[in-house]
Structures are given as C-alpha cells and as structure tokens.
Structure 1
C-alpha cells in the first residue's frame, strides 16, 4: 500500500524507509542494490539506543486510515504485527514469528491464500492473533462500509471471503477471481477490537494504543507536545529479543536535525541534497548509504480551487513546468542523474515500467501560454495574468527550512512566472504536513508517494480513482474508474501492468498530478549501525537493527 510522505522527506530527510554505498568524493552516485550494513545478530551487541529525526509524528496512528502517512507506517512497524518482509529487490517472505506457513493456490478459478498463524502469536492485551484479525483487516479495508475512512481498498475489495481454517489459528482468504498481487495484502494486521467505524477513525488520534500492538518493541513514551516517541523492548514478545534498548524518534525541522546529527544527538539522517550532504561528508565515523528510492516526488493540483477547475488552466500549469530544470536543481552537487519519471505506479528500475507522461504532459511553454489565452487570462503589466480583475495567483505551501527545498520552490516560482502564473510560496512548519494534506490547504503542492511494497500497479485505484483518499488533487471520473476496475481483474501481473500503463496515460490527461523526480535515498549513519540505511524495498526485522560489537 502506498503512503503519503512530504516532499522534504523525499528530498532531504528520508530515514530508514528504504539500503550500494556512495564514495565521499565527486564520484557518480550508484543506486544499484541496497546499503544497510547487513550483519548477523551474533555480530551485534545487546543494548544501546537509536535516535533519528522525523518530519512529523502524524496525529493519526492508524496506518490503515486515509490520514495516515509514511510516517504513520514507519511508527506502526516498530510496535505492531509485521507479517511480511521484503528483500531490497521486492522479493516477499513471511515473518515466521507471526506465521508458520502461507499457501497460495488456484481453486475453482479463484485465488485462495491460507495463512497459518504461529500459536505463540498474541497481541499485547492478551488477545490471540488468529483468523479474526484477518477478518477484521479485510472487513475494514474492503470499502463496503463507507464510514471507514480507508487509505486503500485495492485488493481487499477483490476478496470474496475470509474464514476460519482447520482451527482459529488459520485464516483462509478466497478471492472473487484470480488476483495478481496476493503478496501485497495482510502484510500488517488490525486488532479485532477496532470493531467500529468510530473506533477506526478516532481511537488512534494522538493515541498509539500499544495494547493493540505486538512485536519486539512497544511504546515506552509519546510526548505529543515535543513530538518525541520512545520505543522499548516488549516484555510480551516471544521471538528474538530486540538488540536495541530504545528506539527514539524526534520531530525536528531539517536544519535542526542536521545540527543534531553533527553534535552526536541523533544517529542517522537523510542527506539526499547537496547542502545536507556537504555538512556531514567530512565527519569521522560516518557512512553515507545510498540506494534507489521507491518514491515519487510530484506536483499536485487542487481541483477544488476555482481557477484550477478549468482544465485548460491546469493543463497550462503542468505544461509550463520545466521538469528538467527542476531535476537539475534538485540533484545539484550530487553527481546523480536519472530519467524524468513517467509513472506514479512504477519505477524505471522495475520490469514493465513505461513513461506514461511523455506525449501527454510535455513541457511546452508556448502551448501553455496559448491555453491561458484561450481561457481568457490576459498578461498584466507585471507579467502576471489577470481575468475579471483577478490575478492568476496560486498558493504553494512549503514545509521545510532546508535550502534544497527553498531553492526548488523559488525555481518553480520563476518557471511558472514565465507563462504568467504567480506562485505564492507559503512557509509552513513541517509538523503541519498532515494538516495541509488532509484539509487541502493548497492550490499547488509538492509532495511524494512512498511505496511500501513493489506491487505498484496493484494500487492504480488508490492513486487515481474518484474519491480515493490518496487522490489529493480530487481528480477522477466514472469511466476511468471502470477502466481501472477492468485492469485490476487481469490475472497475469505483466499483462495487468501493460494494461495499467494505458489507463495511467488517460489519468495523466486530467492534468491533476505531475511526477517530478524520484532521486536516490541517501542516509548518513554512524558507521557501526547495522541492518539500517538505504534499502530500496527492504522491510526486515526491527529486532535485528543495532550496533556492531
């Protein structure tokens, strides 16, 4: 399931979400493979803490909820059941502390997946983890009850039934037909006590509910005012003991986080910009770990803004964006290049990827100007277009004090000024991210999608369906939804990807979203930190993160 993350996380401070090393010189950055300093548990010492900065401690702790972000999911995995692991290349395996077997088969033309739960598995409140948790996860995520404000129904809406197997510790999931992406579902579970829409939507607000969690760590403390979350070892855990005594997240602005890393107050920080990398590259005992990042930075256009309700204006704005210039500014000083991204579902390093932006939203300032002329927007004396006494001014919130973000915003402002659009930059604290996104407090917004698994085309509806909670632009229409549903029913993954590419080109033709760049994941860490860094699709056991002996 995809999750929202702020553009500053994508560009500057992505921590531990994704693992080939980068030389501390001007060598070209390589993003082949992962760089996590993988170590066996025998090589790690018991004890110690790991402290990192985080852009926002999201007010919504329910990662299934539509208001959950990438930061919500990051926290969730530290104290809730994680049933699925992914290797850096996206290969799935199940977590044997929670599951003893996962069997996938085709029965009467339908995909059937049988999950057998480890008999030791239980929630912190004593509730056994059994088929009921699978039923509840499906029930709340299926989309059948609109009172549940769900982040994504993709896949769960294709399930016919979830039933008890040979005993309570076995869940049998039967799909309506053949489902191409079974490894993308039930990677995490929702406690059966989250049994109503009211509990689902509100119980986790500013409340992590550690008693509904399970795993090697649990919440030690959460300070809503300072934005500090501390995890400790979970005394109820039945698996390998966590190597760390404590895992600490601190909400910090970007420059404050860099200063804290330089002062030894935090142990790792994202440095995927020239300025942040320059401040840590000469430090002793520091390793910069780099990998391809399974995330897209994008421009989102708010269709609820009256000016932008006109399709011609939206098309003009997106055709007026010089992505090559923005990418050059974004990667200045990193000696890194990449092709311009052409999809919000797939990455250029994945099989089946196609550039679905090319030929649909090409940069063409002349065409952009002509569209605005056609829509009645006339260039004023100051170069900004005017219609019926109103200036063509659009607000762009920026949620970072990082120089890389500020430079990007100013460049964006200058680029659109060339076609007569006045981009008004509104500086906001990074802790306002959820507020800006949920309340749609923007005309234009630079944000990102982070993928938590490699099955991007499975989430075509989450990105593009009308009314989807991830569709922050507010685009979509019934005919497109029907096409997306048709794609989802295709049983072969590669055939589904091919069909999905065609539909995504239709979606881009709404002129609501424009991918800007992907970029590398670059994490500066204290060199003795193991099983942590830049990992592409990697999701591994948090109990194995720690410090080398």
Structure 2
C-alpha cells in the first residue's frame, strides 16, 4: 500500500506511517540555525530549517526509553471502514491504526533504503529475472492475533484481492499485483514464491504489508471491516482494545513475539483541529498537528513542549469530482487551473510559519528528493487565459460577472472540512480567484468526521485533500492516482495512453530510466487536470517533551514498540 488520503487542513503533519506533506530543498526558512534531533522549544522564532536526510523524532535506543505510559493522539476522521486494502479504507486514519497493529514487512532508512523488518520478514530475494521471481521468507514466529501462523497464504490473499483480476474486490491499487502470475508455497509454509507474468520493479513497492486470509471472502472484504477493526485478524506489537465513533484504544498485544512495546497504551481521539490544539494546551493529548501560525502562537508559552519539523512526503491538492457537471469538460478544468494562484495559496498556508513553498510539480515525488521533476511546467496563474478558454467554447460573461451558456452557470461546489481558520481563508481566496475568471464557486463546509464519507461518495466538484505516501516508491505505484481504470483515481479522468506509459515504467529494472519515464507519464496525466497539485509543506508536530522516536524522519518509521517516553 502506498498512497492514502488525508484531510487537507491536517496535511502538513499527517501521521499516517511516515506520511506528511512534502517540503523541499528549494524552500527557504527565515532561520539558518540547525534544528536538534529532539526539536526546539515551543515559542522558538524563527523556526529552524530541517536538513534532508536527518531525523527529528528524538531518536532513542530502547534502553533509554521508559517502560509504560500512554500516548494520546488526535485524529480528524474516525474510520468507517477499517480495511486498509480496500479503496474504502484508503485514509490516513486507517493507516494510523495499521501502523501499530498490522504486519509491515519493510523498514526504511531516512533516505529510503529498504531492509526486511525481521519481526515479520526474514529475507526477500530476487531469485530469477526470466521470469521475475521473488522468494519471501517470513519469521516463523509471526502469527495473527487469532493464533493462526502468518504464511505464504497471506501473500496469495494479498495478490488475489489486489490484482484487479476480478470485480469481487475493490482494491485501492493494483500496481504490481496485476503483473503477478502466481504465488506458491516454498519448501515450508513460511516461504512464499512470487512469480511475475510481466516484470515489476522495484518489487519492494508491493507486499509491504499483508492481508489476513479471511479477506479472500469478497463479502467480508467489502463489508466485514465496516465499523469493526477486527482485532483478531491483525498482527503487531499492539492490538485494538476498544473503539467507538469518537475514540479507538490500542494496548500491548499479549501474543506479540517481538520486543515488548514500551508504551502500555495508544489512544486516538476524533476531534477538529481547534479542539486538538485546545486539548494539547490542557494536557489531554501528547502531540498535535501544527498547520498554521495561529496554532504555533497558542502553544508558544507552554513549558515542556517541543516543535519538530522535517521534510514530509505528501502534497496538498485539488481533486475533481467524477460527476462534476462543469468539470466533466476538460477546458473548464484547465480554466479553473489557470485561475488558481498556487503561489498565493502557499503564502496563506505558511504565513508566519517561517517556510516558503513553490507550487508542487508532482504528487509522487517531492522537491527534496533527487528524482523530483516539475511535471506541471505548463501551468502559470493566468486569469486572462482562463477566460479565453471559456469564451472560445461559447461561454459569455453575464451581468453577475459569471460565465453563462445555454441557461447554465459556470458553477461548482468546493468542499472543505472542519473549523480551521486557515482552511476557511484558503477557501475564500480560491473563491475570489475563481470569480475573477468568471467561475462561480460555492463553499460547502462539512465536519472533519465526514471526510471519508465525502471522498468515497464523490459528492463534490472540488475537494481539497492531501495524498500521503508511505515509502519512496510513489513513482512505481502512481497508476493508483492517475490510471483511468484505478479505483484510487477519484476523478476517473485519464486515458489508455497514460495507462500504458505508467505500466511500462515499472517494467524497467534500471531505476533511473524507470523514474524518467514515470515523470513523463505523470506530466502527461497532470495535463488532464483530474488532480491539481497545490503545494508541498513541512511535517510539523508539537509534542510533549521527552516523547521518543516520534516525529518527522524522512522515510524512516520507528518501530511501534520503540516509541515511548525517554528516561
């Protein structure tokens, strides 16, 4: 699994796996002072810049972390569907829970170099290239919470449900899995042999986590996880103790075979942005997202609070609704894009945050990565060009200042969530830009708890969100976002040419050549304006002083059992 949707107002510090919002080496802070790995005290001004390749999660050895304690965190959207392998569960809130409670086969360095997570995976080897064949050896001690061993059958289940070869399942991404010919048992049940029908590189981009074989039942796959986290079908250092519409509680897994978790308990509480800041001020939660200068100001005078900021791995974007009456027209989508001043939106977003961001040119690679390219060089803010596009297709400006044609107004609904002042300011700014281009924008504000329901139903014309990614292989799984047949492509805008380019890029073993073609494919896809990247941002969190192995760290994810409070 790779990409997951996040609430846009929280995008700067999304807490799904390692996902946040991408920042970049071309972005400058007001300060050149180095940031310590543990962060800086609240109230520090200006905030120091992070460095590429550095951790800012207060890294501590297990021996230096206390035994016991509770970590309480906010979440904007309590999952309605806990199946993280389904498109209905492709949300940051699901990823938050899965991070502690599901099998994760790979560990990454800050820079993105992979190695097996030996709690689950002893080794993975490319044993043949014609056809491409990979042998995975699982830790023989690994088992699901119901006692069943984790075997090659988990690989087969994941392949069958994620391949897209049957309509019985609704996977969030078929990238890589659709290239597989077979998954068979090796010499022992804990060995899986994966043979590809069509090459897929890098193979580490798939099978990053595994499904319980119970998911082979299509009905259970789609409905069995609705409002039920299914603790017995998970496997990890923590397990789900209880859940409700407003809170989920994770506790140490008594059947866990690895290092004993340092924390006793992890609690996620559903709350709006402002409620989270208030709760942090009152000591009710231990970490919170910092998305704007108001948040920083509210906690500036609190003792024993650290601000940790690093480069993130996601982008804030606009997604076009697949049933949008106006934006089913490509020229209207392009007019909207030209009407949008992304530089201005970035300035509003980061005002007072000691951060400057250029408009994003990719959703799958980030400015601080050496593989990044600006795949939207064609787009500049140009209101006159937006108007020209509409007029050339028969639209005329009416007395109300908006375009009209055949009794239809050039009108669209922009959905936003929660009570964030920044979110409101961004919506009003976009509304003013659109009006100058003759496009009538109606703002529809909904509770944060409605985010997943809205995204799944497609009941919007423009939806602001973040797409976070959990690993450095976003270029290999970008079909999830852009391919015309992908369930993860919310807009359903795409074509066979783009699909073919993206599929071809993953058949090339040479990473540089593969990434070069992936960039070309994304550039082609972005010209269709099914998604409009806005800006990347730092990942910024405020934490209670002493919280260890928690915070922005590039691609590195601290093991859940190592997170806790420093001695």
TM range (shorter): over 0.9
- Provide, for residues 332-381 of structure 1, a one-character-per-residue CA deviation record: whole Å limited to 9, x for no partner: 0011113321111211122222111012x332211101011122222222
Q: Distance in 2 between matches of 1:295 and 1:27?
A: 21
Q: Is residue 434 of structure 1 aligned with residue 452 of structure 2?
A: yes
SS in structure 2 at match of 1:405: helix
Q: Is residue 191 of structure 1 aligned with residue 212 of structure 2?
A: yes
Q: Is residue 330 of structure 1 aligned with residue 352 of structure 2?
A: no
SS in structure 1 at match of 2:479: helix
Contact 1:29 1:334 in 2 (8 A): no
Please point out which of 290, 302, 309 is paired with 1:271: 290
> Given the two structures, how large is their TM-score scaled by the length of structure 2?
0.93
Distance 1:198 1:470, change over 3 A: same
Please point out which of 116, 134, 140 is paired with 1:113: 134
Q: Is residue 523 of structure 1 aligned with residue 524 of structure 2?
A: no
SS in structure 1 at match of 2:266: strand
Contact 1:340 1:517 in 2 (8 A): yes
Q: Is residue 261 of structure 1 aligned with residue 298 of structure 2?
A: no
Q: Distance in 2 between matches of 1:11 and 1:134?
A: 33
- Provide, for residues 293-338 of structure 1, a one-character-per-residue CA deviation record: whole Å limited to 9, x for no partner: 1001111122421221222111101111111111111110011113
Q: Distance in 2 between matches of 1:151 and 1:324?
A: 31
SS in structure 2 at match of 1:427: strand
Please point out which of 501, 518, 524 is paired with 1:506: 524
Which residue of 1 is the match for residue 302 of structure 2? 283
Q: How does 1:427-506 map to 2 (within 5 A)?
A: 427-506=445-524
Q: Distance in 2 between matches of 1:152 and 1:119?
A: 28
Q: How does 1:363-382 map to 2 (within 5 A)?
A: 363-382=381-400
Q: Distance in 1 between matches of 2:65 and 2:17?
A: 18
Q: How does 1:108-507 map to 2 (within 5 A)?
A: 108-224=129-245, 227-359=246-378, 361-507=379-525
Moved more, 504-513 or 28-37: 28-37
1:245 Cα deviation after fit: 0.8
Distance 1:7 1:27, change over 3 A: closer
Q: Which runs of 5 or more residues in structure 2 are unaligned?
A: 21-34
Distance 1:108 1:245, change over 3 A: closer
Q: Distance in 2 between matches of 1:239 and 1:13?
A: 27
Q: Distance in 1 between matches of 2:198 and 2:489?
A: 27
Q: Distance in 2 between matches of 1:200 and 1:52?
A: 28
Contact 2:482 2:493 in 1 (8 A): yes
Contact 2:316 2:464 in 1 (8 A): yes
Please point out which of 59, 82, 99 is paired with 1:77: 99
Which residue of 1 is the match for residue 3 of structure 2? 2
Q: Distance in 1 between matches of 2:419 and 2:129?
A: 57
Moved more, 23-32 or 417-426: 23-32
Please point out which of 8, 12, 25 is paired with 2:45: 25
Contact 2:16 2:468 in 1 (8 A): no
1:247 Cα deviation after fit: 0.2
Contact 2:133 2:196 in 1 (8 A): yes
Q: Distance in 2 between matches of 1:439 and 1:178?
A: 34
1:234 Cα deviation after fit: 0.8
1:282 Cα deviation after fit: 2.3
Contact 1:296 1:449 in 2 (8 A): yes
Moved more, 295-304 or 524-533: 295-304
SS in structure 1 at match of 2:476: helix
Contact 2:106 2:208 in 1 (8 A): yes
Q: Is residue 544 of structure 1 aligned with residue 562 of structure 2?
A: yes
- Provide, for residues 143-166 of structure 1, a one-character-per-residue CA deviation record: whole Å limited to 9, x for no partner: 111220000011111222211111
Distance 1:254 1:362, change over 3 A: same
Q: Distance in 1 between matches of 2:288 and 2:409?
A: 41
Distance 1:13 1:402, change over 3 A: farther
Distance 1:53 1:159, change over 3 A: same
Contact 1:48 1:245 in 2 (8 A): yes
Q: Distance in 2 between matches of 1:108 and 1:215?
A: 33
Which residue of 1 is the match for residue 29 of structure 2? none
Contact 1:291 1:535 in 2 (8 A): yes
Q: Distance in 1 between matches of 2:442 and 2:490?
A: 20
Contact 1:117 1:169 in 2 (8 A): yes
Q: Distance in 1 between matches of 2:357 and 2:425?
A: 20
Distance 1:425 1:214, change over 3 A: same
- Provide, for residues 355-411 of structure 1, a one-character-per-residue CA deviation record: whole Å limited to 9, x for no partner: 11012x332211101011122222222322222233222111111211111111111
1:112 Cα deviation after fit: 2.2
- Provide, for residues 96-117 of structure 1, a one-character-per-residue CA deviation record: whole Å limited to 9, x for no partner: 1212222233x25233221111
Q: Distance in 2 between matches of 1:381 and 1:256?
A: 43
Contact 1:31 1:520 in 2 (8 A): no
